[in-house]
Structure 1
């Protein structure tokens, strides 16, 4: 039976005050959803008189889609770091009302942050959504990761989004909506959006499934990089069997010495088939079994209880282990 280690995540012991979190999607800097780097934007408010305490900070989300955004309307001053906020590049650039200047700077980000504190995402039903469907009169808003997860159409060339209700309008964009493999729009609901180059691919053309977790932060084969340290050392790259996101073996915590021959799943995609616990809520050193479908606790319980009489091995008894299901 193979023991399988979990993947990388931010250090749990890092002080809350030093953690940089996006003021829109509420994800950490090293997110798996393709939001790009965190940028600092000044806001037209006075600097807080006192440094924020950990209790004042909104609890940062992780790479589980269900934790993106804010469960309650966040207090704007709680998001302030000195006199501004940290926001992912794509979370800001795609927001309604934000403009790209001739100097490649983003303006009106402050207005987007303010509106996000009151706007609920159509997909996750949490606050912080600032990306609106491009169709006039449509009132659907999304976080950047949720826009992809929802199956919306995204155009990097135009920085516009079409919600699933209006996705048929993407055909009017011509080649921008074509699949890079079959050179046609085909089934628009099956398109995957690469957060690296902006090209689209039909999931069926790549022989994969367009699930929400795969859509969010998806990268095409040409753009795939480590989600932790970005480009380099492709020979040491692990690709998740479920969401297809990559990570170097040496970027894992704990690190791996070599690329495993068996299938590998990142922490976001690990779910115990017995207790239902997700990998993201367990420590990074937790061991997983049965192709990452059985957590360490359930494996220990399974190995100490008879599957016929349900009695434990206390007092010790001789339990035979099945060579197939263990």
Structure 2
């Protein structure tokens, strides 16, 4: 069984929490994989109320699990604001209810959105920080920006309007904006993927890819897809993860790859051992993976040195019989 060497897009070192800057709405760091664009600093326009402190911690770089978006508990505003304002991703701010764009391309009321988000649960992840409301009249459903896509909601970049899955049928009223860029029809609205780069929609079936929550969040169409490491950078040797559909340059991975692999490839974030449950981000970049990145190095070693019946290690003079399937 051929081994597959782990090639990751990040270094193994993690900075201290003090060096981490995270969005005050989605709680993801700047280099997130969910398409929120850059972190921007917004000033305060109102006096901040005082909330009780919490033990909730900000994420470390690379912590892009959908389950870690937002805040699990009531947050102390002092952890979200500095002396002059707060840091929020561009799209997290633009899509938030009550935020308005000024003539100079600036945004106002972002701080008010952050304050309101501390009291609102996301309909998808059930965590605080949700500020994007469903556009349907009378609907009080709110989402974080990454969770909106993960939930299968329809998003209109032209109108900065969201329709939750329950009201997604209203997207047809937007005409061509709800059409797939491949088949030029609305078709199955629940199958549409929203490109966070250009705002166009594509049926997953038309592209012959999946439409899982991790694929939907931060998805980029073939024309907009950039390397998640150097974004954007040199447009060559792009490797696309078979699980999340995110792109990486072979030379941006650590360790770098000399060429594009012929077999399906998974990025480090999407590798999970089906036997012990360990995730790729926990292991060093040099770790090896087997069975299409489904078995970690330690479990593979266990497979080849320990009897599957008695659970004992084989004597050096005894050859274990290996199953050709598992």
Q: Same fold (TM over 0.5)?
A: yes
Question: Hey, what does 1:213 align to over in structure 2?
Answer: 214
Deviation, structure 1 residue 57: 4.8
- Whole-angstrom distance in 1 between the partners of 2:75 and 2:253: 32
Bigger mean CA deviation after superposition, 266-275 or 250-259 = 250-259
Question: Hey, what does 2:319 align to over in structure 1?
Answer: 319
3-state SS, counterpart of residue 161 of structure 1: strand
Deviation, structure 1 residue 275: 1.6
Question: Hey, what does 1:298 align to over in structure 2?
Answer: 299
Contact 2:45 2:109 in 1 (8 A): no
3-state SS, counterpart of residue 233 of structure 1: coil
Aligned residues: 318
Question: Hey, what does 2:157 align to over in structure 1?
Answer: 156
3-state SS, counterpart of residue 288 of structure 1: strand
RMSD: 2.2
Question: Hey, what does 2:145 align to over in structure 1?
Answer: 144
Bigger mean CA deviation after superposition, 201-210 or 187-196 = 201-210
Contact 1:151 1:212 in 2 (8 A): yes
Contact 2:26 2:92 in 1 (8 A): yes
- Whole-angstrom distance in 1 between the partners of 2:44 and 2:298: 47
Contact 1:131 1:144 in 2 (8 A): yes
3-state SS, counterpart of residue 155 of structure 2: strand
- Whole-angstrom distance in 2 between the partners of 1:155 and 1:40: 25
- Whole-angstrom distance in 1 between the partners of 2:13 and 2:73: 24
Question: Hey, what does 1:51 align to over in structure 2?
Answer: none
Question: Hey, what does 1:184 align to over in structure 2?
Answer: 185
Deviation, structure 1 residue 265: 0.4
Structure 1: 4+ residue segments shifted above 6 A: none
Contact 1:31 1:63 in 2 (8 A): yes
Contact 2:24 2:88 in 1 (8 A): yes
1:69-88 Cα offsets, whole Å, 9 max, x none, are 11112211012234222111
Deviation, structure 1 residue 6: 4.0
Deviation, structure 1 residue 117: 1.1
Where do 5+ consecutive residues of structure 2 fail to align? 49-54
Contact 2:3 2:288 in 1 (8 A): no
TM-score, normalised by the number of residues in structure 1? 0.90
TM-score, normalised by the number of residues in structure 2? 0.90
Does 1:16 pair with 2:17? Answer: yes
Contact 1:64 1:280 in 2 (8 A): no
1:138-179 Cα offsets, whole Å, 9 max, x none, are 111101110000000000010010000100010110111001
Question: Hey, what does 2:86 align to over in structure 1?
Answer: 85
- Whole-angstrom distance in 1 between the partners of 2:37 and 2:64: 14
Matches within 5 A, 1:1-326: 1-9=2-10, 12-44=13-45, 57-60=57-60, 62-313=63-314, 315-320=315-320, 322=322, 324-325=324-325
Deviation, structure 1 residue 259: 2.6
Cα 1:9–1:124, aligned 2, differ >3 Å: closer, same or farther? Answer: farther
Deviation, structure 1 residue 46: 8.5
Contact 2:7 2:257 in 1 (8 A): no
